[in-house]
Chains A and B, each alone.
Chain A
Amino acid sequence: MLRFILWRLLQAIPVLLAVISITFFLVRFAPGGPFDADKAVVPEVRAALEAQYRLDQPLHRQYLAYMGDLLRGDLGPSFKYPGRSVNELIATGFPVTAELGLYAMGIALLIGGAAGLVAAQRPNTMQDYLPMSAAMLGICMPAFLLGPLLVLVFGIWLEWLPVSGWGQLPGDKILPSLTLGAAYAAYIARLARGGMLEVMSQDYIRTARAKGLPEYKVVLGHGLRTGFVPVVAFLGPAFAGILSGSFVIETVFQIHGLGRFYVQAAFNRDYTLILGCTVFLATLILTFNLLSDILAAWMNPRLRAGLNTGRN
């Protein structure tokens, strides 16, 4: 197990390096400097600005200097918001996005997991079709449509919940979290159903039933652990999707999180902020992919046996 974790960690390093490098050069090759908009900049001021952001140095020097800063955890200053560092901007935006993502993930796991579990108990009956049709609807309804529709119904017509914001009015966190989580609940429901169906036909489940265990113990105690391996393996990609999905949610519900910063940074050509956010998000996504892989490997008895013998 330890070997597997170490091996995966080692693999993640070149991937992260490549991600940072590609973003760095892509952003630097984008035409239009960050100060082009300020037309009346005196040449001396411009030179001073460029020196401050190291734009006067050759590209490879800029790259090495940036990598050096990164090692110290410094993402550099923002182009657009003078005097503020990218670290500060991320520190203000990320807690909001993280909270939103956490709720969304919780909703996705609870609703999706339960729906898949219920559906797998009686395949090809109403108990299967109803949750699975709802899941299909969740997959086909993009967040930028579902969000406004929920706002229209619960916010404007019924006036039950606030239509926008985050943490300002009671209940304003419900709709954004639900909207963001819905699609992932749908995917998780499908994965959970498939995984459970496959497991429940296996011999050890029959043994458990033959022992006379009540059905709920068979399902939750014996089936769940193996049946949910596909769900756990999906958590890493789901996390990445929820992070980028929060761009839409933050736009629709006017929430000031990292996603909004990110999109605005792209519109403003705030290159250091784009770069910093990308590095930050990519590191986060890689970490979660790693965690979900390790967890899935630990939950899967066959894979675990393979890991303990030292292969892989």
Chain B
Amino acid sequence: MTVMQAQTARPAGRSLWADAWARLRQNRLAFGGLIFLLFLMGLCLLTPWIAPYGYAEQNLSMGATPPSAAHWLGTDIFGRDLLTRILYGGRVSLAVGLVATAVAAGIGVLYGALAGYFGGRVDAVMMRVVDTLYALPFMIFIILLMLVFGRNLLLLFLAIGAVEWLTMARIVRGQVQALKNMEFVEAAVSLGLSRWTIIRRHLLPNALGPVIVYATLTVPSVMLFEAFLSFLGLGIQPPRSSWGLLISYGVETMEEYPWLLIFPGLALTGTLFALNFLGDGLRDALDVRAAKD
């Protein structure tokens, strides 16, 4: 098969990534998700300039009005513009999603690569640690951390990231284990490259596909987690806004003002939809199997 490939030298060399991109573009759901996310990120980046009102700007004479021309999505009980608060909430939710995922991916990739590369006893011990952490009911730890150290946004990023790296570590370890006995790694060893260079230059780039796919699928679960904490009153503190917080306010008054629950819910669900479709599409495009376990 390798001979075949060598003989039928393909005219225009197309990289793996170009192939994957072409496949992704054909997947309408995934590509739609990508467009939606880019649009949303643009909106959230520009929020301070395009938002019609301030996020804490109250107008008590306009308390809890349904959607209107002045307030497209209505106002909450303090007369704050819901659209503005959803946009500001989106900034927090997206930032938590991206930063915590980056933290998780960083820790997971490094840890998994080391465990997979060294193998043997080192690997056994490192993976037992992962198993132990899997068994921890981490939700209560984060609740505890939030109570003890104050409701600090940075701490929230780190805490969620520190929890979500476990699966990433497992995936990367599996990849590295499979790759490290291949001939190109042997060639690198015989060339006298250092271990670190081999991991960084030869093993990790080949494990990038699953990492990207799983990272994309981690973002929605992180965002859900932030929303959950804010819902319990342990995440973002008022008057700042986050989707979880808006939903928890919406729940309190849903009987009288259902739009206060429905619009933030739509924002969260829609974004999670887009992220999941994109993740699934990436998995197919990069041909990654079983990235979820």
Contacts and interface: CB of A to CB of B under 8 A. Distances in A.
Interface of A: 11, 14-16, 18-19, 22-23, 26-27, 30-32, 136-137, 139-142, 144-145, 148-149, 151-152, 156, 230, 233, 240, 243-244, 247-248, 251-252, 262-263, 266-267, 269, 274, 277-278, 281-282, 285-286, 289
Given A152-B255, A152-B261, A26 B144 contact: yes
A274 B140 contact: yes
Interface string B106-149: 00000000000000000000001001100111011101100110
Contact of B269 (A16, A140, A277, A281): A140
Given A18-B132, A142-B227, A148-B254, A267 B147 contact: yes
Name the prevailing secondary structure of the A interface residues: helix
Nearest to B251: A148
B228 interface: yes
A11 B248 CA distance: 41
Given A19-B132, A252-B251, A144 B228 contact: yes
B265 interface: yes
Given A140-B272, A243-B137, A278-B137, 7 more contacts: A14-B132, A30-B144, A137-B269, A140-B273, A149-B265, A233-B293, A269-B147
Given A15-B132, A149-B261, A266-B143, A31 B137 contact: no
A262 B141 CA distance: 11
Nearest to A237: B134
B164 to A, nearest CB: 14
A230 B290 CA distance: 11
A139 B276 contact: yes
A152 B276 contact: no
B243 to A, nearest CB: 9
A140 B132 contact: no
A145 B247 contact: yes
A212 B136 CA distance: 50
Given A144-B228, A251-B232, A262 B140 contact: yes
B128 A14 contact: yes
Contacts of A156: 254-255
Contact of B135 (A32, A248, A285): A285
A17 to B, nearest CB: 9
A144 B261 contact: no
B155 to A, nearest CB: 14
Given A148-B261, A266-B144, A136 B276 contact: yes
Contacts of A140: 220, 269, 272-273, 276
A144 B147 contact: no
19 contacts: A19-B132, A23-B136, A137-B269, A139-B272, A140-B269, A140-B273, A144-B228, A144-B247, A145-B261, A145-B265, A145-B268, A151-B254, A152-B255, A156-B254, A240-B137, A248-B231, A266-B143, A266-B147, A278-B137
A11 B148 CA distance: 32
Contact of B141 (A11, A14, A18, A26): A26
> 10 smallest A-B Cβ distances: which pairs?
A140-B272, A148-B251, A18-B132, A266-B143, A145-B265, A30-B148, A144-B231, A140-B273, A244-B139, A15-B132
Given A148-B261, A282-B135, A285-B135, A266 B140 contact: yes
Interface string B224-268: 100110011000000000001001101100110010010001001
A247 B139 contact: yes
Contacts of B144: 26-27, 30, 266, 274
A16 B254 CA distance: 43
Nearest to A16: B135
A240 B140 CA distance: 13
B251 A15 contact: no
Residue among A23, A145, A248 facing the most chain B CB atoms (10 A cut-off) = A145
Contacts of B272: 139-140
B131 A15 contact: yes
B206 to A, nearest CB: 25
Contacts of B220: 140
Contacts of A281: 137
A251 B251 CA distance: 12
Interface in B267-293: 268-269, 272-273, 276-277, 293
A267 B244 CA distance: 19
Given A19-B135, A148-B254, A274-B140, A141 B269 contact: yes
Contacts of A230: 293
Contact of A285 (B128, B137, B265, B293): B137
A152 B273 contact: no
Given A144-B227, A149-B261, A251-B232, A22 B254 contact: no
Contacts of B268: 142, 145
A275 to B, nearest CB: 10
A274 B142 CA distance: 13
Contacts of B276: 136, 139-140
